Amino acid sequence: MLDKIIRFWQGVRTLSGDDAYERYLKHYAELQRTDAGHVCAPPLSKADFFKQWQDEKWNGIRRCC
């Protein structure tokens, strides 16, 4: 039962974007592991990541007509 609750909560976090930074860090680590010859900038801080995410989400024209 606890396992179902945990999976449900993880699904809610994914749908709401609450786990976006954790997914970003996981993706960043995977890129570092698979592409060892490529030099990347260090990952964004949590605050910088969410600022960039919000800027991308809300900048520009967002209307239907």
pTM: 0.69
Query: Per-residue pLDDT for 65 more than 80?
Result: no
Please tell me what DSSP assigns to residue 38: S
3-state DSSP assignment of residue 53: helix
Which residues, including other chains, have CB under 8 Å from residue 46's CB and lie 6 or more apart?
21
Which residues, including other chains, have CB under 8 Å from residue 10's CB and lie 6 or more apart?
19
Which pLDDT tens digit goes with each residue over 4-53? 999 999 999 999 888 999 999 999 888 888 876 676 788 899 999 999 98
